[in-house]
Structure 1
Amino acid sequence: MDVRSASFHPIEPVLACALFSGGILLFKSSWKHPTSLSTWKLQCQFRSEYSALSLNFNKSGTKLAGGCPDGTLIVWCSRTGQKRVLPVSRRLDFPLTVWNPFDLNVLASYNNAMEGKLVVIFNAAIGHFYFLQSKENVWCVDWISRNRLACSYDDGTVEIHEIELGFISTSNLVKKLVVSTHFTSDTQVFPYPKNRGMKSNVWSIAWNEQLQLLATSSHDGWVKLWSMDSQDPVHMRHFSSFCCHLVWSPMELPSSNKDPLEGEREPYLASGMEDGSISIWAPLGKKLRPFLLLDGHTEQLHQVSFSPNGRYLASTDYDRKLVIWSTKTWDIIYTLPPSGCRFPYTISWDATSSKLCITEKTGLKRFLTIEYVAAENQCAKCKKTSQNVKRCSRCRSIFYCSKECQFSHWSNHKTVCQKN
């Protein structure tokens, strides 16, 4: 299939694929439980003269956004195929989109693959938009409320903008955080002299609504947590390598002697580092210190992404190597070897956490899916086929013919068993 980018629906068993020739294909499963992607059927096709380099559903899956190589932004209604097109002539290359989880019709679009000082705010329901122009290059954006957007820059700062979209759209700078005042070289750390143009990029930011904290990572090796009530970080941790991508977990820190589904849910941070390691840090935990996952990558990390149920962590690096980790034991359960091409993959989980699609943003026709689906009517242990097999009551995605088979297979199945 001639796929340029792809994204799974956040709720339903639907996969959207953008074609090189233009347009979108939507594939859907007729079953609610996880089934092999080979059984999914083409549901509909959205025609378009544009080829989307990136695809992204909003939180409810009602709208699908695509960023095109010439800067054009397209938003489709996922049920009707109706679209709004917003040409943006002042940017090229690879526009990214970040949907607002507090207002499902609004998104922010930016480009960090080249020098870009423009963030586009777009309301796909009414067509209103706003061009947020900055003096510095934008590295990352994230929504922290219905009308507030956090933007990180390559001068070591993060700005919080309050944006109102209408016939006359406006923005107001409500807060500016000085994240980094130092520039890190290979041999020393020295103060950041702005007038000399030396910069310590704020590589990644991630908002946690439960904790009301904004996590930032900068090129000087610091990961900091900020409350919107203060100008100073409330928590901070220094690492020997800088963090390229931050992501919050959907549940508390798992351990080998505690079921992560039990007890109080405490979010934690996974940080993909420049040296290929991954830091796992529960900043509000009293007993757990950050620890590093060292065995997966040797190249700079590009993306880390938790599965929706929090039981897996996928990581990709700039050598196009993919690793999937079990967050129960932090063991590696899947590895896609590197291809030797210095361009990273973009990954998307499906709603059941049983599938992962991989696309590659340089335009090469590289599209893969990784899935864990049990064969229908077949015992996972003895492989016998029977009409009397029963599903695992916990994850509903694997079958057993007897309690004995289920018990003997548990040591293998517990790593990937998920509770839907």
Structure 2
Amino acid sequence: MIESEISRDRMQRRLDRLWEIGKTDRGGVTRLAYSEEENDAFEYVLEEISAIDSMAVEEDSIGNVFATTAPEASESLYLGSHLDSVFNGGRLDGTLGVVAALEAIEAVEASDEEPEIPPTLVLFRAEESARFGQAMIGSRGALGLLTTEDFSVVDQSNVPLWRAMQEAGFQPENLSEPTLDLNRIAGFLELHIEQGRVLDETSTNVGVVSSIRAPVRYRFEVLGDYDHSGATPMSMRRDAIAGAAEMITAVEEIGIEFDQDGDIVTTVGDITVSEGAINKVCGELSFPVDVRSNDRQFRDRIEERIVSSLEAIAEDRDLVLNTECINQTDPVELDEDMMEHLLETAESIGTSYRRLPSGGGHDAMNVQRLNIPTGMLFVPSVDGVSHNPAEETSEDAIEDAATVFARSIVDGVP
């Protein structure tokens, strides 16, 4: 029985070891895209893969890794996720998807059951946008979805993506074409913590994802005048911070207002002040805005409302507002047949399960965009915590999700 081959201890050992790679003094992990830490995490997983005699490994020009038990097979079920993280993130985000997929493949190999479709483990690079402001770089490259402009985006140190790839040991090629044989992908499965509270608060071990929200992201630059805080009368100030504070409040208020009409979340997660000081009126700052929805048309309405509202605030305060759209993707409905398959498999192993949407973006959405049958599982985020050192889930849920993946390998996909 496959179920008896799933090892909690092996998964926890791998999760703990990966946690050590990039572990911070605040208990989290920082493994940014194309960093030495991301490279080290890939090397560790490759070492673990090497112990499985049947696995053949390939690496593409931007560092994505594909390990399969049957390289000559005409089709394969792909399973996996990413190993990079946000700044001081949790130990499960992305990493759990790789570890559980490897465990499922390993369990099938150790069992007496023959898979209907042989599996391929996928390790995507650079899923998080923490370094370059661009998400899912690895999966987009593998699927032929990167543009020339994408390679020119820069990080906080003004290092462009193409150079970071080279410094990490890769030679990116023209990725207008996929690095994968798309006809070989019979389906794709990804596991992730929910990053929300639904599963945890309903004591549900496995969530089957129905759709994935997608963001539109902006960077707003607010320009005023630098002045002395003691010598400049209030009526004569062009205070960038005060203006930005009103703008950020407006972003929240618009999200709350339109949340009554449809699926929407609006977030300002950072503010960067240039040359700020306690005794200065601020003259320059920037902040990002993240707007997400499962409904593209509805999101477009909110996007327009936010931009026009911030422009009006800038005009009222005699500030300059520079607006840059840095990322825009479409929401995705995952494959209905794959969803039903995962729901039936979860029921067959006796775990608690439910269907729910994803608030965060994932590599799975890029695969589904190419009409490749894609499914996704969630496990609970304890207290809804994610992208944080306190990120955690239960061992029962991890084992159940890995078992669903193992059974899916053996039973095949719709």
Q: TM-score with structure 1 length normalisation?
A: 0.26
Higher percent of residues as strand: 1
